Chains A and B, each alone.
Chain A
Amino acid sequence: MAEQGKDLLVINNIEVIYDHVILVLKGVSLTVHDGAIVALLGANGAGKTTTLKAVSNLLRAERGEVTKGSILYKDKRIDSLTPNDLVKLGVVQVMEGRHCFEHLTVEENLLTGAHTRRDGRAEVMKDLEMVYRYFPRLKERRKSQAGYTSGGEQQMTAIGRALMARPNMILLDEPSMGLAPQLVEEIFEIVSELNKKEKVSFLLAEQNTMVALKYADYGYILENGRVVLDGEAKSLRENEDVKEFYLGLSTAGRKSFRDTKHYRRRKRWLA
């Protein structure tokens, strides 16, 4: 586990509405300490992606809006910044489903990640080599059109592209999606290496609870746009409810957290 510093990202009780009417996040609060990997867990439609997009402000491009609460990065409000501003500040999102530029080569994809940088070509090339060190496979495929590379390579390209912006924080949305278990482990290994060596903090949305909690320091569980449980990754792994509902270790089948008595719903804004 990386050394953890002070608060890097603080989300305070945000509400998100799509298309002016669809209320999706109903008061989500979370904190990412500097140097941490924080997992954001939950089933389909729980609001994980929406939370990440609220931070990176890609929400606006989907007619979504943060209508309540605040988002702070390094103690400054960032809710009204553009994605371009945020990338410059060091916050980059890797979108769900990779979203590589299909008709560009792998290397061109990586270079687009450096678009906002102004520190010169030499520095950018240095970081390109750094990305290739973490993802040797991308170096082999540097001249291939990204659209024709494998799902794993596309995920690596997407993460590498984000790294090219020299971020402090990566918002990583479902890196495991559609990948074979072994490849998922490989990617998470690299994420944790990046976290330690490059000092990148991660806010990580995952449905693959098991893997996410293995690599994360801390976890939040979302349900229906609310945080229903949070804690150290280790304690969440041990938590009976989590085991039952998300790790599938119970014979009782999946239920909602709402149905269980012994679960204490968090409402930090009331506390």
Chain B
Amino acid sequence: MTSDLNFFFEVLFGGLLSGIMYSLVALGFVLIYKASGVFNFAQGSMVLFAALTFVGILEMGVPFWPALLLCLLVMMLLAVGIERIVLRPLVNQPPIALFMATIGLSYLLEGLGQGIWGTQVRALDLGIEDLPNEMIQEALGIQVSTFDLFSAGCAAVLVGGLALFFNKTRVGLALRAVADDHQAALAVGIPLQHVWAIVWAAAGLVALVAGLLWGSRLGVQFSLSLVALKALPVLILGGFTSVAGAIVGGLIIGASEKLAEVYISTFTGGAVAAIENWFPYMLALLFLLVRPQGLFGEKIIERV
């Protein structure tokens, strides 16, 4: 019986940890949505672009850390560029116009990334093995991938850093103010353009981390931009405006899809296959019926 239980925990942990990878992508969406009310269709392309750029810079012979720094710089410049060229001219236009602009941006980034760095699939080796971690195997008797642990660690550091930034700094306060009320933020003299550039840069950083982690798992290639699709159910579950929601939503989606895959397919004798692929969307759909604002979606405060 214990081996059954162990197996259950293995699946659960594996699911939770891969869920964190979804959270990372969802986080990028949340940041931008919060600050500007725009659903950034280009988030997946930013993940791809970041990973392509990083691999490309590595291939030029630049060592790992300088390459990371350089890539980060590129993402920051990209953010400032997007603010200047795309967002600023569209300020005060309806959200749908901005959404359309991000669709255009998405194709631009995909084309640009592949144009500069090529379209072939490339391996990205972060030097972390995707094998069961021995320490945990000895201590708890269950198999958990070292790589999964590593990515969970990265995500935790990133989220912790962002939370500190949002809650403890002057700029973070301005970001939250803008998220609450654009007009009032303008009225107290907060320059919206700066805030947007900063938020896009933060989303770029998140995309870079997600790109590296996903890229080293799936290979750096076009389909990387599709991980954004995995973030959708996470967003529906967690709410578009909540960082905590993105994390918890990712965990729930990750764990439940793995558990469903393993247990429902064995239960049905394999008659229902590839559950992992559609289960999150079904879950999200059900959730949408019950709680449309998501688990942590910001309550609209209404006083009577």
Is A112's CB under 8 angstroms from B92's CB? Answer: no
Among candidates B174, B182, B188, B303, residue contacting A61 with C-beta atoms closer than 8 Å: B182
CA distance A100 to B183 in the complex (A): 10
Closest Cβ of chain A to B147, distance in Å, is: 37
- Encoded as 1 (CB less than 8 Å from any B CB) or 0, chain A from 103 to 119 comes to 11000100111011000
Residues of A with C-beta under 8 A to B180: 101-104
Residues of B with C-beta under 8 A to A115: 170, 173-174, 177, 188-190
Q: Given the known A-B contacts A61-B183, A115-B170, are A103 and B188 also in contact in the complex, defined by CB atoms under 8 Å?
A: no
Residues of A with C-beta under 8 A to B191: 82, 84
Residues of B with C-beta under 8 A to A162: 188
Is residue B176 contacting chain A, with contact meaning CB distance below 8 A? yes
Q: Which of A91-99, A212-220, A224-232 contacts B (4 or more CB under 8 A)?
A: A91-99
Within 8 A of B (CB), among A120-177: 145, 147-148, 151, 161-162, 165
Is residue B184 contacting chain A, with contact meaning CB distance below 8 A? yes
Residues of A with C-beta under 8 A to B301: 102-103, 145, 147-148
Query: Which A residues form the contact surface with B (CB < 8 A)?
Result: 56, 58, 60-63, 82-84, 86-88, 92-95, 99-104, 108, 111-113, 115-116, 145, 147-148, 151, 161-162, 165
Residues of A with C-beta under 8 A to B186: 58, 61, 83-84
For the complex of A and B, 3 pairs with smallest distance between CB atoms: A87-B189, A147-B301, A99-B184
CA distance A58 to B179 in the complex (A): 18
CA distance A82 to B181 in the complex (A): 18
Residues of A with C-beta under 8 A to B173: 104, 108, 111-112, 115
Is residue B187 contacting chain A, with contact meaning CB distance below 8 A? yes
Which chain A residue lies CB-closest to B194?
A84
Is A93's CB under 8 angstroms from B187's CB? Answer: yes
Is A101's CB under 8 angstroms from B303's CB? Answer: no
Q: Given the known A-B contacts A62-B92, A148-B303, are A100 and B188 also in contact in the complex, defined by CB atoms under 8 Å?
A: no
Is residue B125 contacting chain A, with contact meaning CB distance below 8 A? no
Which chain B residue lies CB-closest to A89?
B189
Residues of B with C-beta under 8 A to A93: 187
Which chain A residue lies CB-closest to B184?
A99
Residues of B with C-beta under 8 A to A104: 173, 176-177, 180
Residues of A with C-beta under 8 A to B181: 99-102
Is A103's CB under 8 angstroms from B176's CB? Answer: yes
Is A116's CB under 8 angstroms from B189's CB? Answer: yes
- Encoded as 1 (CB less than 8 Å from any A CB) or 0, chain B from 146 to 187 comes to 000000000000000000000000100110110111111111
Closest Cβ of chain B to A90, distance in Å, is: 10
Is residue B298 contacting chain A, with contact meaning CB distance below 8 A? yes
- Encoded as 1 (CB less than 8 Å from any A CB) or 0, chain B from 246 to 287 comes to 000000000000000000000000000000000000000000
Among candidates B92, B177, B189, residue contacting A83 with C-beta atoms closer than 8 Å: B189
CA distance A115 to B175 in the complex (A): 11
Closest Cβ of chain A to B196, distance in Å, is: 14
CA distance A83 to B194 in the complex (A): 14
